[in-house]
Amino acid sequence: MKFESFVANPLMQAPLAGYTDAGFRYLCCKYGCGLVVTEMVSAMSLKQKNRVAFDLLKGRMPKNSVSKVAVQLFGHDPEVFAEVVRYDEIQKFDVIDINMGCPVHKVVKNGDGSALMLDLPLASKVISQTVKHSKKPVTVKFRKGFTENNVNAPEFAKMCFESGASAVTVHGRTREQMYTGQADMETVRSVVEAAGNPVYANGDIKSKEDADRVKQYTGAFGIAIGRGAVGKPYIYADILGVPFEKNLYDDICTHYDVLLEFLPEKVVACEMKKHLAVYLKGLRGVKNVMNEIFTRNSADDQLRLVKDFLKNV
């Protein structure tokens, strides 16, 4: 089956470390996103049976959800990928996504993430071994290039497809840029022209207007939204033109409830502080309530403060 038919629609929730947790993914599914993705998980940590790595794999879907769920793995050892993709915990996912775009120094210095854009033969082995040892569709996320002097996204995309990848996601920034500047959709367009679809365009997409413009300009099959969906997972329903009711407090409660199924309350209370800062951003008086929330380590206490705050907004 072609990947375009495998997913319900061409929208992807792009993974973001610390944000695209089980609760956030659940909400993205609720609002109809075609493909949701875990936070990136170290393949080596899974091989070493690291509990925290396995915790990142936990989650659940809304009833009757049409979304597919991908696990995103990072690393650079083809044999480690060949082993871990056979784990039962990985096999429960619909898609295996390989991160070859993370720009963070501690990831790149180990030869992982966007460092693989500098070594196409090794990147190809990682992809081909993953494809060989898993019956799941394999996708790859990468960047425009490592530096402005080494923009190789079209060539890299061709390699991905030739190595067996079912789809790719291209972030229109170099590793050198990190998350600064503007995403270059001309490069994404060149990837589509050089390698064909399915390609997901990623970078600076924060609204339906952005999504429509990028898709039309690049010719990409899909749109991958990262930071633009944090705090507003309903963006997927908006882009799809599907009617929805937005209830901020209910979504926040759902986010808590899903995380509490899998993690200790103290961990959830700590993790939700950064989410609440985004959910409530821009509301009058938010600074005072967030100062109070940051002093609380109980989920119930935090939710009580949120409820009282929203009553008066």
Q: How far apart are CA 276 and CA 254, in angstroms?
A: 13
Token pair of 290 as six digits: 């967030």
Say how many Å lie between the first and final Cα of the chain, rounded: 49
102 annotated active-site: yes
CA distances from 118 to 135, 138, 142, 155, 259 (A): 28, 21, 11, 11, 37
Residue position matching structure tokens 């061409």: 10
Distance, in Å, from the CA atom of 200 to the CA atom of 25, rounded to the nearest integer, reads 18
CA-CA distance, 220 to 101, in Å (whole number)?
18
Which one is catalytic: 29, 33, 102, 160?
A: 102
d(CA 145, CA 171): 9
Residue 83's φ and ψ, nearest 5 degrees, are -80, -55
Distance of CA 99 to the CA centre of its chain: 10
Is the bond leading into 198 cis (omega within 30 degrees of zero)? yes
CB 139 within 8 A of CB 128: no
Residue 40 DSSP label: P
Closest by Cα among 24, 30, 26 to 237: 30
How far is the CA of 220 from the CAs of 10, 151, 182, 200, 223, in angstroms?
9, 19, 18, 6, 8
Return the active site residues: 102
